[in-house]
Structure 1
């Protein structure tokens, strides 16, 4: 009774007169017992006229409950029809209860009966109520809201419902949705809307059949069967984080069902470059490109252009490393052909030219090997890798080392400018800074010059950091103990007789504690990188550094991996982690108010991926007192060797005491059981002796800005459903102007999406303005023309919010949409 009373009182908030027909007279007692304060309760008994007079004349403002203990009469026999139409007919059947719960008018009674299975469930009714049913909602509008409930959506977007349905196909739960659509009498409505919006028709419509048509329509080399909105839908599907995995699964399934493996070989490479649907297309492009690189038909420009065209496609992220292998391969081949046989005229010319440009070959080789291992050494790249490994070893390392060795053989001493000599580092670089603020020196064991260049580029691209780049030339032999000692404060370096240990002004230098002892004379200390990183920068770290004027931080992962036979082939894999760690150390130093931050290395290294040929092992005998023999050097006294060695006296290489050094010429190695031969150091090759010298400073003011993007507009009106937009990168990217990633689309002023999405990274270094232009043809949805014609719409440019998956508005450009209503949408 309380629920019945509450329902009636709620209705009286809206209606003055409520009609209650009770053909079976089952509710007579309940009506009699109803206590409705302030409401006249009247039972009709052939007294319609008097009641009507009372309603209109005697009590024109009083609320009435009119109870009819009989069936509702036909309209032509209903004396109170005008009152009834203005009031509300209260029902007590199941349909009526649902209608009353949802606030639906009486004319929905038949509608609710038709879809009674939907309304029987209280949770569905609650979800429908939460969506909101506006006054005067049409039956078609209510069906849309019911569809949203079935698909679990908070919006009435048909596209969103289709994505939910597609996701159900991917997870094998589509039968449940199909059953519910049929059971609730909504299937016809749903597929009629799909037909109207996308042009999909079928005698027996099915979601997977629609998905097949969707992929076919959006592929540049398959047939077209759907309307233009299909392009907008699949574009939104690809970028929707919630449904990306279902896109991946169904793309793979569709490619099989559309017989893609047999179609692709008959399709040209250029015809595939715009496809953004199929993993098989990405594989085919890579295979074609790999063949072109292997046959030396691919140019740098061609490979770069294809990679740039593909980098915003869906499957690219899975195959980025394949493209990196191929691009680095063509760069290596091109640079080696240009530079490998250039002679050197002097000892100082070697490091100068290496740091100006020659290092780039080694940099590309490192990146190639890193990317290749990330592809899990995929067989499609085997031929390219075999060729490039041979090019690097035989056409680069061999001739370069031969040209360099000729200069070494003619030089009386191993001597360079003091500013570029490793053993003068403290005297000429670190010591002058001590009076100007606390100084940090980060020494990464084995950090080759080209790795240092990449570290500099990375830090230069971080806001508020500036970088001064230079280089040092190590002493000989180029091994850890000598390099580490040379970087300490000292005036004389001596090899401890009978060992390979090094004394700095008579003090031992091996290990962190001994180096701290040397540094203590300069109010300094040494610490391992892992221990430094464990310090809390804000409190513990700042307190720890206070007593010191200079702190040496020792990082060791390159040499640790490379010097071990079991792991030497993983040394290139370590490059990303090494650079990440060094960046972390630099940032932490800056947070500890480090004023001067130096990064350098004890030595570099030689590396080749392919096994070392037997002819590259030096078989010449060594005589004399041998203190230490490694792959690339022999230390001792009174040493002599064959023609394959170059012999240095200690004084020739800046070492005190009676010591001799034998270095294998070129890139040759000595045989040594139990150690690796692909990663080596200790010799005089440019890759071993030239190390980076980087100085980082953190500024208070911003040092970077992102490149500005503009739109070249020929008109402020849009008159067709396909809109060609030219984007212009205003400046060339450089050290201070960084790339900007943009996601662009057309939207209504209320934010409603009206087109596909275009994502692009603007990173051109071209100085020509014309070469910094990028174009995209946007497809407007049917909604744009039908709901927003003759209105202002926006081209919205968004950029990613750093460290999140969110985007923020970069800029908007307004257009007036004035599309003539033709069949343009059917011609996609």
Structure 2
């Protein structure tokens, strides 16, 4: 006998059956147990039933019959015959056997007993899979799942689950496990006709036919014949069917139709593929196989062909037709195709010469949905079969680049007639509230596009050139022309003010003093971020506002001229109440306040001492731990923190090309700084501002932008790319001439600025510049952050939703649940993502897992239909099932009772 068929198990089975009959007959045709009879006989006779074992070998059947019926009529007997059961005519003990019980002690019977299975008709079924039971480990694993009333199909399902090492004896888990094994071997061998490693075991255990039958019942897979069924053919049909299910009705892939699985099983296919893709452990195998089959099937060319046919056949425009790809995530090629179509759409929109309503919001919603799908978030770094570009998986960055590129093109379309305003004040405020988005969308597009371009990929080359040309030759040129006209018409060089906007030299008086004098705060922090352009600051404000941790107010001040660091930082400090606020001494570059140097952190800290303040460099403050930070700030009412990330890199020829990346880094640093000050330093009020903004373009500048002075004036204090400062300067053609007395409330030091976007010279880098009078340089941000204590804090809460159906009942394998968002997404509410699926009382998942976004900003969009695909059709209408709604942010789970009563045999949707 094998190890698990031990004498104890045999004994227990005999004793249990002897409760039902005094005499037991045992036929052992293979004499498998003959050697164990002596030991067994002793234990049987010593048992409570005192069973006597009689071996018919060499015994007279007449004597045995006499013993059983006459000599010992009360004794319990086990009649052992070391041969097969005789036929009726040749069985002399047949009359006794008729009123006795027959004991089956062959291997299959013992296995049935060990598994707790009560139906002896399963013996042959178990016997046909006897090799499986040669392992005690497999047998013990099987025991966990076997139920007493399991039939042949249920037993095979569990045998296969143990063999393939599935986590659960569910066909979906089994299929995914086998496909994972298949994908792995395909990746190793490169051959799609390869067999999974587990296939030999399934063959040895006589389970292959059962596996394919279970697969057919579950998801409708059918091969021409059983011998032609294969993992390759199965995977091919799964992927093709999934692709067709998730494309719109106008996108028809005729060449793949031969591989589609039957219509009535599509819900199971959809659920299987979604679960496979979404499982963190299994998705890597899905990716391997998807990429291999994508190449084998030529999916890219198939999509191109079906797209062209759909454009001819359908009445939909390209944007509407593209929406038919919105939920498809079968192959990576779908994302590649979509990105190509987005590029074409962007190029088409850029050609418009008249203002038109563009479907930009629809495109951005489409992109937003794509960004949450499988391939954008897939990790493809370890797959040898992938192309260089796919390994990087920059699709998320590329979609983001398109969001900002479409924003840019939309802005251009809205202002296609140019920038016409009545006066400088109107144009300044237009920039503050709207036009700054040109600079922001230009920067943010390049932030994402540069990543792929810097890695050598050319996808964005044409778009980048389009955006660059439009930005430099259309936007910057027209903006500067319009603004310069208002500078001249409104005499801003001698009357440097904008109605309703504070001047930068009023910063301390208008922003810092009122907060300190309000008595609401003990200490105020002022962060001066060098070259923090208004549009960069606005992004910072938006990102922090979205967290709901602080209140953020965004404002601007009219920066001083020239708009450069020494002057800009000086006027932000406490200044004398009577002019001149600032002075230049003896031709020095240093700017003095009330006779004190404002150069460097030490100089500014000395000036701040008069108002119980201190200055510190961001880098130094960053090194403080919590206790050091509190100890440093404790003695002061005002703490100025100088942050120089943007200007430090932009003002150098070697690093000016990093400006866009540096802006993103500055936003992150300031975000973290504000959070830390609010937390570790107990700040309740923080102001973030800048000394000036900047002009920047990625492309090389034309020589026409360079407008050097005809000769170098005497008494120069500083001669930079965008400004010249000196004593008693004289006007020059094509230059703005002014005095810091008028533009910075200073002394009579004069300055010259090149008009438009011109530079005096290119020394030290010409792409990133500041110092001039452009709106990008002089619209200086002021952000005020307020800490809201726990009882006051305005939390940004996720919107809630509710199920509209009171009594949930599914009558079809595809059903819809009516849900409704209960409030709009707004300043104090944010979108919610809910994951829906069906489970039974044993927590077995019985449906696809569906994610629904509740992100409506208008009440008309509140109602959402959630489509649920049930897996299989074996549901009990008398049982209670549950619709699960899981909040993906909080992981909170709500259960809704559900009845499933399938009426229709086929999916009618």
Q: Does TM, normalized by the shorter one, top 0.5?
A: yes
Partner of 2:80: 68
1:696-735 counterparts in 2 under 5 A? 696-699=785-788, 700-701=790-791, 702-703=793-794, 704-711=796-803, 713=805, 716-725=808-817, 727-735=819-827
Matched, 1:651 2:759: no
Does residue 155 (structure 1) correspond to residue 168 (structure 2)? The answer is: yes
Q: CA deviation at 1:645?
A: 1.2
Deviation at 1:176, TM superposition (A): 0.9
Give 1:282's aligned residue: 335
Classify the secondary structure of the residue corresponding to 1:787: coil
Pick 1 or 2: higher relative contact order, CA cutoff 8 A, min separation 6: 1
- Following the alignment from structure 1 to structure 2, what is the Cα–Cα distance between the partners of residues 281 and 651? 62
Task: Tell me if 1:448 matches 2:533.
Answer: yes
State which drifts further: 571-580 or 29-38: 29-38
Of 128, 144, 151, which residue of structure 2 is paired with 1:138?
Answer: 151
CA distance in 2, matches of 1:68, 1:97: 16
The answer to whether the aligner puts 1:501 opposite 2:590 as a matched pair is yes
Task: State the secondary structure of the residue aligned to 2:606.
Answer: helix
Q: 1:629 maps to what in 2?
A: 719
- For 1:308-327, what per-residue CA distance to the aligned partner results, in whole angstroms no more than 9, with x for missing partners? 45344323455233333334
For residues 265-296 of structure 1, what are the alpha-carbon distances to aligned partners after superposition, in whole Å with 9 as ceiling and x for unaligned? 22226254443212222222221221122122
Q: 1:248 to 1:138 in 2, by over 3 A?
A: same
Aligned to 1:300: 360
SS at match of 1:618: coil
**Residue of structure 1 equivalent to 2:510:** 428
Give CA deviations for 1:728-759 in whole Å, capped at 9, x if unaligned.
44433221111222223344465433333332
In the aligned structure 1, how far is the partner of 2:17 from the partner of 2:781? 86
1:758 aligns with 2:850: yes
- Calculate the TM-score normalised by the size of structure 2: 0.81
Mapped contact 1:350–1:686 kept (Cα < 8 A): no
Counterpart of 1:398 (choices 477, 490, 502) is: 477
- Say which SS state the counterpart of residue 275 (structure 1) adopts: coil
What residue is the counterpart of 2:40 in the other structure? 31
On the 8 A contact 1:637/1:660 being kept in 2, the answer is yes
Answer yes or no: is 1:589 the counterpart of 2:668: no
Q: 1:351 aligns with which of 424, 428, 433?
A: 428
Other structure's SS at 2:167 match: coil
Secondary structure of the structure 2 residue equivalent to 1:566:
coil
Which residue in the other structure is 1:125 paired with? 139
Give the match for residue 457 of structure 1. 542
User: Structure 2 vs 1, CA of residues 20 and 527 (structure 1 numbering), >3 Å: closer, same or farther?
Assistant: farther
Which secondary structure state, in structure 2, belongs to the residue aligned with residue 648 of structure 1? strand
Note if contact 1:20-1:65 (Cα within 8 Å) is conserved in structure 2: no
In 1, Cα distance between the equivalents of 2:285 and 2:297? 18
Contact 2:496 2:742 in 1 (8 A): yes
Contact 1:494 1:655 in 2 (8 A): no
Change (3 A) 1:106 1:262: closer
Matched, 1:605 2:614: no
Q: 1:782 aligns with which of 872, 881, 886?
A: 872
**For residues 444 and 243 of structure 2, what CA distance do their matches in structure 1 show?**
33
- DSSP 3-state at the match of 1:669: coil
Please state if 1:387 is matched with 2:472. Answer: no
Structure 2 gap ranges (5+): 56-60, 187-194, 245-251, 308-317, 353-357, 378-393
SS in 2 for 1:30: helix
Shift in Å, 1:195: 1.0
Query: Contact 1:273–1:285 at 8 Å: present in 2 too?
Result: no
- Of 206, 212, 216, 2:236 maps to 212
Q: Compared with structure 1, are the counterparts of its residues 104 and 424 closer, same or farther at alpha carbon in structure 2 (3 Å cutoff)?
A: same
8 Å CA contact 1:529–1:554 kept in 2: the answer is yes
> Aligned residue for 1:232?
271
Equivalent position of 1:514 in the other structure: 603
Deviates more, 1:73-82 or 1:568-577: 73-82
In structure 2, how many angstroms separate the alpha carbons of the residues matched to 1:82 and 1:640?
A: 130
- Corresponding residue for 1:315? 375
Q: Which residue of 1 aligns with 2:556?
A: 471
Q: For the structure 1 residues 306 and 66, does the alpha-carbon distance in structure 2 shift closer, same or farther, using more than 3 Å as the test?
A: same
Q: Distance in 1 between matches of 2:482 and 2:582?
A: 30
Task: Note the C-alpha offset of 1:523.
Answer: 2.8
The 5 Å alignment of 1:663-678 reads: 663-673=753-763, 675-678=764-767
Aligned with 2:667 (options 579, 584, 588): 579
Alpha-carbon distance change, 715 to 389 in structure 1, aligned in 2, over 3 angstroms: farther
C-alpha spacing 1:32/1:469, structure 2 compared with 1 (3 Å): same
Q: Identify if the C-alpha distance between structure 1 residues 164 and 566 changes in structure 2 by more than 3 Å, giving closer, same or farther.
A: farther
In the alignment, is the contact (CA less than 8 A) between 1:748 and 1:788 conserved in 2? no
2:247 match: none
Asked if residue 165 in structure 1 is aligned to residue 178 in structure 2, the reply is: yes
Change (3 A) 1:253 1:662: same
1:115 to 124, 129, 137: 129
Q: How many angstroms apart in 1 are the aligned matches of 2:149 and 2:882?
A: 32
Equivalent of 1:200 in 200, 207, 221:
221
Is structure 2 residue 903 aligned with structure 1 residue 820?
Answer: yes
CA contact (8 A) 2:799 2:832 kept: yes
The worse-fitting range, judged by mean Cα deviation, of 119-128 and 447-456 is 119-128
Superimposed CA distance per residue, residues 484-529 of structure 1 (whole angstroms, 9 cap, x where no aligned partner) = 2222223222335444332233333333333333333333333333
The root-mean-square deviation of aligned C-alpha atoms, in Å, is 3.4
Contact 2:692 2:778 in 1 (8 A): yes
User: How many angstroms apart in 1 are the aligned matches of 2:116 and 2:473?
Assistant: 84
User: 1:212: how far off?
Assistant: 0.8
The unaligned stretches of length 5 or more in structure 1 are none
Q: How big is the shift at 1:721?
A: 2.7
Q: Secondary structure at the match of 1:26?
A: helix
Do the aligned residues in 2 keep the contact of 1:747 with 1:796 (CA within 8 Å)? yes
TM-score for the superposition, normalised by structure 1: 0.88
